[in-house]
Amino acid sequence: MLHVPVGANTFGGFTNSWGTSRPSSTLGTSVTSATGAKGSWANVISTPTSDAAYGVLIWVHTSGASSQSRNYAMDIGVDEAGGTSYTVRIPDLLVGGAGSLTAGRAGVYYYFPLYVPPGSTIGARAWGSVTTAFRVGVQILQQPANPSVIRKGSFVEAYGVTASAGTSVTPGTTSEGAWTSLGTTSSRVWWWQVGYQITTADTTWGNAAIAVDLAVGDGSNFNIIISDMLVTSSSAEALGNPPIQAGVEFPVPSGTGVYVRAQHSGTVDNPNIAAYALGG
C-alpha cells in the first residue's frame, strides 16, 4: 500500500484576485459578456504569480437579476508569459444566475486541480444571453507540502455546452428525472465538475433545492460519479451552489458517454446543465 505522508495535500501559499478588498456586491473582477461570441478578456490575476499553482478555485456572483434568467458560458485563460495573451485552459463554465454576496447567496463555484506555471497571469471572458457584467474571483493554491504526491492536470474538457447555454434537462419531482446525454469524452480525464443554470425562457423562479447526478456509461448502463450535487434557486432569480462541492476524482477513458439527471423539490424551473472534466 502506498504511504501518503500526513499533510500531503496541504498548501503553504494562496493568491486570490481580490486582495484585501472588503466583501461587497462588487467584490472581484468585472467581466462583461458578448452575445454571439466570447467577449474581451478581463484580467483577473494580472500580476505574474511567484509560485506555481496546483489548484484553481473560481467563484462567480451577481450574474443574476430579478425577473430575468441570464445565461453565461465563461472561459478561464492563462498566459504563461505573464501578459494578457490568454490561452483557454478551462472552457465554457456555466455561471448564469449567480446570486449576490450581499443578498445572502454564495454564488457559483468551481474547483480544478489545474497546474499553472509560475510567472503566469489569469483572465476570464464570457458569452452571454445578455451583455451585462458580473463578478469573478479566482484563488490559486500554491506551495504544496509535498509536490511529488499532488495530482494535477493540464487541460479541461466541457460537455453539453452550446453558445452560452448547456444541455436542456427535465428534472424529476417525486423521482429522479431521465438520464440525458451531454456528449462523449475525447481524452482520458479524471476530475469532474457540473454546471447548472436555468433556461432564459423561465424568468419566474421558485424557492427550491435541486439534486443533480452525473454519470458515465453507454446509454443503458450508468456509473454515477457525482450523486446529489445540491443547487439552490430563489424567487429573486438567484442561484447558488455550496463551495464544499469541489468536484470528484474519477478516471474515465476517451470515448465514454457523459450523462446527467436531476430531481427538483418543487415546481420545476427548467435548467441547462453541462459537465467538465480535467485531464493530463
What are the DSSP calls for 132-193, one per residue?
-EEEEEEEEEEEES-GGG---BSEEEEES-BTTB-EE---BSSS----EEEEE-SS-EEEEE
Q: Is the pLDDT of residue 38 over 50?
A: yes
Q: Is the pLDDT of residue 94 over 90?
A: yes
Locate 76 and state its grid cell: 478561464
Which residue type does 190 have?
A: W
> How far does CA 245 lie from the centroid of its chain?
11
Residue 3: its pLDDT value, please?
Answer: 40
pLDDT tens figures, 215-257: 999 999 999 999 999 999 999 998 888 765 657 899 999 999 9
CA pair distance 102, 25, nearest whole angstrom: 6
Residue 146: its pLDDT value, please?
Answer: 84
pTM summary value: 0.94
Residue 212: its pLDDT value, please?
Answer: 96
- Grid cell 498566459 — which residue? 79
The answer to whether the CB of 277 falls within 8 A of the CB of 159 is yes
Q: Beta strand 42-45 with 121-128: parallel, antiparallel or unpaired?
A: antiparallel
Locate 32 and state its grid cell: 462583461
| Of the candidates 155, 197, 218, 161, the residue with the CA atom closest to the CA atom of residue 38 | 161
C-alpha atoms less than 13 angstroms from C-alpha of 256 in its C-beta half-sphere: 20
Contacts of 208 (CB under 8 A, 6+ apart): 232, 233, 264, 265, 266, 267, 269
pLDDT tens figures, 167-225: 999 999 999 999 999 999 999 999 999 999 999 999 999 999 999 999 999 999 999 99
What does residue 55 show for φ and ψ, rounded to 5 degrees? -165, 145
What domains are there in the chain, each with its CATH number? 11-149 (2.60.120), 155-279 (2.60.120)
Q: Is the pLDDT of residue 50 over 50?
A: yes
> How far does CA 153 lie from the centroid of its chain?
16
